[in-house]
Copies of this chain bind each other. A is one copy, B any other.
Amino acid sequence: MATVRLLTDEEVRQRPQAWAVFEDIRATRKSDFINNFWRALAHDPAQLERVWTQLKQVMVAEGELPPLVREMIYIAVSTANGCTYCVHSHTAAAKAKGMTDGQHAELLAVIGMAAQTNAMVTALQVPVDEAFDVK
């Protein structure tokens, strides 16, 4: 259960600003499916539009990082932040963008490795080497 009701298409249709976003999500993703996150956000159409617009700029627009790499970074952050929903939705998105089982396994290994050394470094309070300084 969510802390707000998830809105149905019929309810969103009554909010023109939100409905326009739903139509853009569908057109952008070439799919009729709209996942629960957007149905929860749609209570505040302006916020829905702001978050979706930003997501399109960051995750969909042309850039130097391939979309699959962006999805794997998204999974890494979502994992470290313990967001169950986000891990599920972005793992599904990465698979849809072609993530192989082997890449998924390596992603897990890097996430685990980083989490381990993050914790050890913090427990040791290792000071940053001067060599890492940015001039």
A residues near B (Cβ < 8 Å) are: 1-6, 33, 35-37, 40-41, 43-44, 47, 50-51, 54-55, 57-59, 63-65, 69-70, 72-92, 100-129, 131-135
Contacts and interface: CB of A to CB of B under 8 A. Distances in A.
A2 B108 contact: no
A113 B82 contact: no
A84 B2 CA distance: 10
User: Quick one: copies of this chain in the complex?
Assistant: 6
Contacts of A69: 69, 72
A14 to B, nearest CB: 15
Contacts of A87: 3, 122-123, 125
Given A6-B127, A65-B72, A88-B132, 4 more contacts: A54-B113, A77-B111, A80-B81, A92-B132
A106 B89 CA distance: 21
A133 to B, nearest CB: 5
Contacts of A116: 51, 54, 112-113, 115-116, 119
18 contacts: A1-B125, A2-B125, A3-B91, A4-B134, A37-B117, A44-B102, A47-B105, A50-B54, A51-B117, A58-B106, A58-B112, A65-B110, A73-B76, A75-B123, A77-B119, A91-B123, A112-B119, A114-B119
